[in-house]
Copies of this chain bind each other. A is one copy, B any other.
């Protein structure tokens, strides 16, 4: 769980720039905003629509995606509780956002945030911190995938989901995959068939076990980690 535990502030307290404490963090600010809820599969916003708000995910999972002209869907990121959506947006959403599960989130208008930032170096500083974090995770999560075979990509996804749930992988750790094989494929740059076959291969090799398609259990941590890191994939 990445969320801070600071007490929420009433919205009227933060709309007035002068009352923004120097130590204000973006997460604390967002936790003081109106809460919104979405059903699973609900689209939160569409690509190219005017980008008017920033969200803090309180619970649930969201996917950010867009389509290539060839019709392939490209999921750029999965978002989990504690993640902030939309900090890097300009005037238009560069991607669509869809709920993988039921979602609750706090919502803040971009223009208000912009005004608050102009008066609070601490808040602006926190924006920089979060943006850096986005770049780092893009760098760590997504980039290496391109140079890895399918098994490693799946292993890396499992590790990412485990970590986002706050747990390092250890023997027996259950990992709940709330997204479909198709979602995973569109994130990893594979097809759902290949993803399915990679899961089977990992099962056959005793790296993971699977009670249902959505519930994976880690069996061989070493092997899973070395696959995820991209070491040689010899049997």
Decide if A143 touches B76 in the complex (CB within 8 Å).
yes
Min Cβ gap A87→B in Å is 8
Min Cβ gap A186→B in Å is 8
Decide if B68 touches A139 in the complex (CB within 8 Å).
no
Tell me if A125 counts as interface (CB < 8 A to partner B). Answer: yes
Tell me if A145 counts as interface (CB < 8 A to partner B). Answer: yes
Cα of A121 to Cα of B94 in the assembled complex, Å: 26
Nearest B residue to A124 via CB reads B124
Tell me if A193 counts as interface (CB < 8 A to partner B). Answer: no
List the one stretch of A37-45, A52-60, A127-135, A216-224 in contact with chain B. Answer: A127-135
Main secondary structure of the interface of A (DSSP, over half): helix
For chain A, the count of residues having a C-beta within 8 Å of the partner chain is 39
Question: Which A residues, 53 to 94, have Cβ-Cβ distances below 8 Å to chain B?
Answer: 68-70, 72, 74, 76, 88, 90, 94
Tell me if A192 counts as interface (CB < 8 A to partner B). Answer: no
Given A125-B124, A132-B88 in contact, is the A146-B189 Cβ separation under 8 Å?
yes
A69 interface neighbour in B118, B121, B139, B226, Cβ under 8 Å: B226
Number of copies: 2
Min Cβ gap A39→B in Å is 27
Cα of A92 to Cα of B9 in the assembled complex, Å: 35
Cα of A229 to Cα of B68 in the assembled complex, Å: 7
Nearest B residue to A67 via CB reads B230
Tell me if A12 counts as interface (CB < 8 A to partner B). Answer: no
Cα of A32 to Cα of B121 in the assembled complex, Å: 24
Q: Which residues of B contact A131 (CB under 8 A)?
A: 88, 128, 131-132, 135
Given A88-B136, A135-B88, A136-B94 in contact, is the A70-B232 Cβ separation under 8 Å?
yes
Question: Chain A interface (Cβ within 8 Å of chain B)?
Answer: 68-70, 72, 74, 76, 88, 90, 94-95, 117-118, 121, 124-125, 127-128, 131-132, 134-136, 138-139, 142-148, 188-189, 226, 229-233
